[in-house]
Amino acid sequence: MYHPDYVLSAWQLLLIFYACCLLTFVICATCNKWLPLVDTAVAAWTAVSIIVIMIALSVTAGAGRHSASYSLSNYDTSFSGWGGFTFFIGLLPGAYVFAVRDHKVHRGV
C-alpha cells in the first residue's frame, strides 16, 4: 500500500509463509488455554468484516443494479452445468456439519 512499485521475490514470499506457519504452530502448541478466546475473536472479526464488506459494496455499487428481491430470489442454474442439481450442491457444507455433529453425539464425545 505504501510502496506500490515494490514486489516481493519468490523466496521472500516463501519466508513470509514459513513465518505465518511457525507463528500458527507456536500459538496452537503453547497457548492451548487461549484458543477458545482466539476462536471467539476470529469469529467476531469475521462477522465484522462481512458486515463492513457488505456495507462498502452496497455504498459503492454502480447504477443499474438489480433490486433486492431479484438478488435474493433469482436462481440461475445455466452457468453451472449441473442443471437443477446445483441447489443441492450448496447444501453439502451444512449436511457435513450435521453429519459430524451427529457422529460425535452418537459416539458420546
Per the CB < 8 A criterion, the answer to whether 27 and 38 are in contact is: yes
Model pLDDT for residues 46-89, shown as the tens digit of each residue: 999 999 988 888 777 766 777 777 877 887 777 766 667 777 77
- pTM of full prediction above 0.75: no
For 29-38, the pLDDT digits (tens) are: 888 888 888 8
How many Å apart are CA 28 and CA 22, to the nearest integer? 10
CA count, 13 A, side-chain hemisphere, 10: 0
